[in-house]
Structure 1
């Protein structure tokens, strides 16, 4: 016995320009019938919450599937899978497409070469799928946009739930973030952690989906923006605070990556913050205190 519920959508051209669109969502459980062999022209994430079964690769190799797990079905790739005929499984699936699938694949959130991905817990991804199912109520005027936004959220939830990664990435990422403002090269960072530059690149790519240089650059420029917006430090001083000894190089780098020079960014975003600013995330359930924390130290 099995139970199946599914809905399919046809987003318009404007929705596709959002980057990702949801083409369908479904919830199924029990001894479901075998799927495939077949080939899709879109992506599908199948989140298996309980139970088990198998996945057959195009060359006939079987891979056991044990919940919690994710099946990645990617465009143009033959696939063939089924729950165990005795115990079945509980699944939620989302069909999606859009130009943003390419950068999500580049960043490692979608893995075409890894169709079976063990998860630590399917609760968060399943919650997103459930919200998408609720959005599929008849007459919902926000259906396409609401489900498109949820596809982005689902990819993040699946990335955090992967069993082979900690939710916040490789421990070396925390060390890089701690040392990000020191005037060190990528080779210096690698040596500091007893790694070769190639090993560091692999760890950061796997944990953050980018190179060590881009990871460090994002942290440095983010803090530079905060200093420009909330202090009156000269640009040269801001450059030194975030690890650049050459202020001219910092200004060129900032302009190229941010799209506006540091001075102009300050003119647009600068504001006086009485008592300084804090890096503590406020609790949205509590009213702001009348006396903000003191200035942040770096």
Structure 2
């Protein structure tokens, strides 16, 4: 898989974009182990596409942002577009054993790159939606599931390598199953943030998760976490690239999309259930975020969710 490097600017490192050859699927897998010793060092950089780094064994070091993570068995690093990866040094992965998986959104289907779907509205991509400032998100695969994870990525790698009849459909299926597993691990966004030593962000998202259906402002969140509104705004924006109010709106939009796709509730009632007592204000906010009205979203069937009268609870976007 070929990548294109964009030179660093004053405030951004070099950025790499995936450029598949004609007819090539925009998915790449490679082993993360001692074979990387031969590559020497690698500059601090970011990708404009998402990826995963999964390790079966303890050993080695992964550098993300300004952190160096000693690798432990079952570690899964979710790399969002824009996340900064640190300088790679020869020998960092000499004692590691794992896999890297990188891809672009269009491999999941023709609707994904659409104007109002993109990254932050696809149900299997929400673990990758964060500001790039906190670096890759570290999660832990339970011990009982690690053999299955290794087999799943190996199967994906084999399909990409051998390209037998039907491999394109097989790659999409294996990647979808992998992303479903990631999204299930990422259901506890607050726990993931605490695992990554982001205690303040964890508290902020916990407040948003508990109170987003009610009137909720920056001042309310600041009071709940015992910090001034100004300091909270600057800290959250620096760490995630968004303001507290934008995250409140995003959480409400996540649930609004789910209710629009999974229920027949009137649009005004959906607005009330996600914290917008005024139906007109809900419609304007939804339109500003998605570029389409709630009614048009519902008609388009934007999220492929089976309609029910009682929708499942959806996790908030990670911070």
Q: TM-score, normalised by structure 2?
A: 0.52
> Are positions 1:199 and 2:232 aligned together?
yes
Match of 1:145 in 2: 172
Compared with structure 1, are the counterparts of its residues 253 and 92 closer, same or farther at alpha carbon in structure 2 (3 Å cutoff)? Answer: same
Aligned-partner Cα distance in 2 for 1:12–1:55? 29
Compared with structure 1, are the counterparts of its residues 64 and 187 closer, same or farther at alpha carbon in structure 2 (3 Å cutoff)? Answer: closer
Unaligned runs of 5+ in 2: 1-18, 107-118, 302-307, 314-319
How many aligned residue pairs are there?
247
Aligned-partner Cα distance in 1 for 2:76–2:209? 30
Match of 2:29 in 1: 24
Q: Report if aligned partners of 1:11, 1:144 keep a CA contact under 8 Å in 2.
A: no
Match of 2:98 in 1: 92
Higher helix share: 2
**Residues 1-298 of structure 1 mapped to structure 2, 5 A cutoff:** 12-13=21-22, 21-26=26-31, 34-39=37-42, 46-53=53-60, 65-68=70-73, 69=75, 78-82=87-91, 88-89=95-96, 91-96=97-102, 98=104, 107-108=129-130, 120-121=140-141, 123=143, 127-135=148-156, 136-137=158-159, 138=162, 139=164, 141=167, 142-146=169-173, 148-149=175-176, 152=179, 163-164=195-196, 170-197=202-229, 198-199=231-232, 202=235, 210-224=242-256, 226=259, 229-232=263-266, 235=268, 239-262=271-294, 277-279=309-311
Q: Post-superposition shift, 1:179? A: 1.5
Q: TM-score, normalised by structure 1?
A: 0.55
Q: Report if aligned partners of 1:55, 1:81 keep a CA contact under 8 Å in 2.
A: no
Q: C-alpha deviations, 1:58-111, integer Å up to 9, x for none?
A: xxx9967342356899999752243798xx44x1122535479x9889844877
Higher strand share: 1
